[in-house]
Structure formats: structure tokens, C-alpha cells
Structure 1
């Protein structure tokens, strides 16, 4: 049976563009695009099912977004990008900070059922848990962000669609960036409660040293424990608090990769308080490229995702999944980008 995905593919446009044509949201659309979509719909015999279909009922134009904490700037940035992508096709996003707490997640899922929202985007939570599986069996569509089991050579079974930056590559590239600028003693700092994404970043970091002369390069992982599990709302303070531990003893690093930019910004503040100069004494690079990073002093180098592209893919794919729940779950992995800034020596 022909579906909205088929129309989009044949017309060479996005699913959201087809949805806009169907719903007469064509104010900013060229006549050529509208005509092409309508011609393909006619050619394929596609007839939108307006009855009980998420795409065409105003009261159902809602998607849920479950994030660990809005206080973490990386999740705030994700929410902003998704809201823009969804609003462009007249959908609304309802956001809940669930702190990876099962009870909060279950309550939010039930709220989404009550609102007749048919899709929830879940950021960085363990999608293998029973409440996600059972809710999917009840008809809720889930799409996972940054929780892929993708690793080089991995054949792990996929349960839900996932959109993610290549976290393994992000960790590797961050280490390479420091190595290429002369750093020899490089540490990776993370909160001690590990997620899939955090594990992958660490694995990528370590891979950058696998075939190197151990006498020339040194690498190690330093963990800091948060007051609340996962530390999603504490990252700035965690970076500040770990500073003294890093500087203990004689094996002081000359390069640091932090699990995210918020931790990196806190770390830079702590380093300056200890009298160190960045990047003269120590180079620091974060992972996720939050907006604040470009405005710190010095500005924080980072490895980050192409967030706008990923947000558009998330919205297109969850609509596609709602339209056709029989689709095979897919991983959509995006290549990270390096943002060169002054916290790393030239």
C-alpha cells in the first residue's frame, strides 16, 4: 500500500513537505514543488487517510519530548531545534524533564496517551525498559535520540528508530584534535554513571591511542560522581569540583576531553581559579557544542552534532513511523563536526 514515505521519495522532497501539501500549508512553497507532489500522489494513487490519522487532526498535532533535564544545555539545545522543526509543519512539542526516573517517564507516557499524541521522542534513556516496550505495544510510537547500540561492527538488534551523533567517532576525533596540537598526556572526564552514549564516547577516545607508542602518549579516564544519578543537571559544578583531582600528583595532563561542554566550562573555571592558563598550560575540548561554548573566555573547542539536520530527520522519521508502523527500525547516525576554538593550543 502506498504511503506518505513513497510519495516523498518519488517526488524528491521531505515527508513534511508532502504533509504540507496535503494540509494546504503551501504559503512559502513554490508552485513547482506543490505541483510535483500532487502529480506524484495522483500517479501513485495515494489517498490520505484523514480519519483517525495523526497527520490530519488538529487536536492530535502533538509530539512528546522526554529529556533527562532541561538544565543540561545540550538537552535544551535539542528541545529548541526539535521545536523549530516541528513548528515548521504545524506540530507542537510537549517537553518533560524526566531525570531518567521510571515513574516520571511512565506518567509522561500516560499523559501523552491521554492527549492522543501518537509519538514521543526519548533522549538518552534506556529504551530497553519494559514501560517503553509495553507502551509501544499499546500504539505509542517512540523514536530514540542518542541511545543507539551502533558501534563499528555491531549487529545489535534494533527495537526503536534512533537518531544519534556517532558518539564513538566524537570521542575519537576529540582525542585526535588534542594529539594533533601536541598534547601527550590526555584524560577523558565523565560522570561516573554511564549511558550508552557516554560509553561510546569513551570507547572512541581510547581507540585513538590503541596503536600508539605508550612511552610517547598517555591516556586515562577520570570519573566524577554526581549527587543525583547521571548528573544531568550538575555538569557545570562537576567540572568545577573535579579540578583538584586532575591536578594531584606529578602526572598532570596537558589535554582534557570532557563528556560534554557544560562539564568543560566548569573545568575551565576551576583551572583558572588554580592559577592555570588555558590553553597555554592545558588544552580542553568538550563534546556537544552548546551555544555557551562560543562565548566563554577562552571559547571552548568542541565536537558536536549537526543538530538542525538531526532535528529535521527526527521529526520526519517519527511522522513516517506513525504513518507506517510496520517499517523496520533504523539507526540514523550523523557524523560529528569539530568546532575549532581557543581553549586548545594551536
Structure 2
């Protein structure tokens, strides 16, 4: 009996191309390629096995988790925490990578509906996009992670739960720690494509500079990744930002990194340039990924209460799935500082 590999081989295409034809996803495919695949299926008498159509009236103990990219350690850690929390309720988690592309997000939502899933967590995406709003209107329960409501949105207009670390506080804590440890000229290093969470961290950082009556001009150092938003390139971006930072006058003695992956990249790049961390430049990251404790020196980082946030997100989804009368709400969690060796001590 022929299988999908046989069809792909005869048609001279990839297995994914055959799959796209089977699932009526041929919008980006040439007519010639589609016909060649269909002819190969006919010649081989290929009969694909079809999964049973889900009963829309049966509640599945599954929730979805949509992240920009699992390659980013921050989202890997989130996925781990969400999975642990879901297992406590005997739920499973279906994971999707969106790469911050609207079409990927929309297709993930449709896949969740087709599998009978009625609750998803959406990480670090603009939850105001049309496909999310329409999904909520069709009955999908959604929790927005790290993208909380604007102050202008009235409570009765909210259709999603929002769970986020206080990103303004995170930027403020990082900057305050560097200044309290004796740093005189601090900068904020980030990718140039700003999300709400990134913007809030920068706002918190600049607030501290204003409080200390320090100039804020040229204090945010931005690098452009090859991929949009740079979710998979933060370590590499840290390496490339080193030259720009060292060229500043006066040279910074403290850096806040938008996340730990970028901060670790900065430390590696500074070491290659002969600059000592923390003796010459101190660094604070944000996220407290597990690699931060393994870095040399260990990276001081602002930590979100990730396990508690995951617990709330899972509980909210399950509660609202079971009781649609529960109104969406917002949950803002305070971050804490984890001190390691990447910041000079006050005495030094």
C-alpha cells in the first residue's frame, strides 16, 4: 500500500507539499505542482488515513500554548511551567510556534477549534489582532501572556484574561540595582522591534534615570536582528551590540539587557573584547532563564514568578471553559531580583 513518502517521491516534491494538498492548503503552490501531486496519488491509488472528525460537543482536556519561538529560552521556560500546571488538572498542552506571523497565529487558532480545544494561552503577541478577537467571539477562551491591557480599556470591553509580569517594575529594578552598586553611566540594550513588554521595560529603566536626574538621551542601544523581533537571535544580537556599546563616550559601566539571552551574549562579546564583567562593566538581564546561573560569571537577573503565573493562566482557562459567565480579568505579578556575579558589589 502506497504511503505519503511514495507520493512525494513520484511527484518530485516534499512530504509537506503532499500534506498541503491533502489539507487544501495550496494557496502558495503552483497549479502545475498541485496537478503533479494529484496525478501521483491517483497513479499509486493512495488513500490517506483520515483522523476521525472531532465531536464538537465533547470537551477535550487540552489547552493550546502559542509562543513566538520555542528556541527563545524564555518561551521554553514558559512552556515547561504551563505544562507542569496543566498536568495537575490532567490537561495536555498543544504547542505552536507563531514566529509572530499573523497567518501562523490564525492557522493555530483554527487547528485548535478543529481539535475541540477551547482554551489557549497566547504569549507575547498583540492580542488586539482581528483573528484573536474573532476567536474569542466564537467561544475560544484566551489568556494573553506578557501583554497586559492598556489603561484605557474598560473592564466590560475585555474579552481575554491578561497575565503579565510588571515589566515597568522589571526595568526599574534592574536600573536601580546598577546605580545602587555604583554604576555611573548605564544603558539599556535591546532589539529594535518593540513589543509592549519591551517598551514597558525601557520605560521603567528611563524612569530611574529621571529620578536620579541623569540624562536619558542615547541610553537605549538598539540592534536589528535578521528575523523580525529577533526572538531566535538574542544571544547573537548581544555579541554584535558590544562594539557599539564600547564605542560610546563615556563608556558605559552598567548595562540592562532586554532579556538574559542577550545579556549572556553581551558577556561573551565583552570577554572577547578584553573587557571584564563586572570589574569594567556590570550587566543585569531580565527573565532569569536557567542558563543565567550557568554563565561565567553568573548573570544577575530580574525574575518573573513564572510558576505562579502559569498556574493562574491554566486555572483561568479551565475555569472559564467550564463557566462562560466568568468575566475576563487582569493579573499583574511583581518581579524580583536574583543577584549573581555579573554586577560589581557596592564595596568595590
**TM tier, shorter chain?**
0.7 to 0.9
Hey, what's the Cα distance between the residues in 1 that align with 2:283 and 2:196? 23
**Equivalent residue runs for 1:225-244 within 5 Å:** 225-244=224-243
Q: In structure 1, what is the equivalent of residue 48 of structure 2?
A: none
Q: What is the TM-score normalised by the length of structure 1? A: 0.80
**Matched-pair contact (CA < 8 Å) for 2:149–2:162:** no
Unaligned runs of 5+ in 2: 1-55
Hey, what's the Cα distance between the residues in 1 that align with 2:333 and 2:306? 9
**Matched-pair contact (CA < 8 Å) for 1:185–1:219:** no
Alignment coverage as a number of residue pairs: 287
The Cα offsets for residues 31-65 of structure 1, whole Å up to 9 and x where unpaired, read as xxxxxxxxxxxxxxxxxxxx9473xxxxx011000
Q: In structure 2, what is the equivalent of residue 18 of structure 1?
A: none
Distance 1:63 1:341, change over 3 A: same
Hey, what's the Cα distance between the residues in 2 that align with 1:190 and 1:70? 19
**Matched-pair contact (CA < 8 Å) for 2:136–2:160:** no
Cα displacement (A) at 1:326 = 3.0
Cα displacement (A) at 1:258 = 0.5
Cα displacement (A) at 1:135 = 1.1
Q: In structure 2, what is the equivalent of residue 22 of structure 1?
A: none
Hey, what's the Cα distance between the residues in 2 that align with 1:335 and 1:206? 18
Q: In structure 2, what is the equivalent of residue 245 of structure 1?
A: 244
Q: In structure 2, what is the equivalent of residue 156 of structure 1?
A: 153
Are 1:322 and 2:318 matched, yes or no? no
Hey, what's the Cα distance between the residues in 2 that align with 1:332 and 1:62? 23
The Cα offsets for residues 90-116 of structure 1, whole Å up to 9 and x where unpaired, read as 100010111110111111111101110
Distance 1:102 1:213, change over 3 A: closer
Hey, what's the Cα distance between the residues in 2 that align with 1:209 and 1:243? 22
User: Which has the greater radius of gyration?
Assistant: 2
**Matched-pair contact (CA < 8 Å) for 1:285–1:300:** yes
Unaligned runs of 5+ in 1: 1-50, 55-59
**Equivalent residue runs for 1:164-313 within 5 Å:** 164-214=164-214, 220-313=219-312
SS at match of 2:332: strand
**Matched-pair contact (CA < 8 Å) for 1:299–1:342:** yes
Q: In structure 2, what is the equivalent of residue 9 of structure 1?
A: none
Distance 1:249 1:121, change over 3 A: closer
Hey, what's the Cα distance between the residues in 1 that align with 2:98 and 2:187? 31
Distance 1:184 1:200, change over 3 A: same
**Matched-pair contact (CA < 8 Å) for 1:185–1:218:** no
The alignment's C-alpha RMSD in Å is 1.6
Cα displacement (A) at 1:322 = 1.1
Hey, what's the Cα distance between the residues in 2 that align with 1:71 and 1:209? 33
Cα displacement (A) at 1:268 = 0.4
Q: What is the TM-score normalised by the length of structure 2? A: 0.80
**Matched-pair contact (CA < 8 Å) for 1:188–1:259:** yes
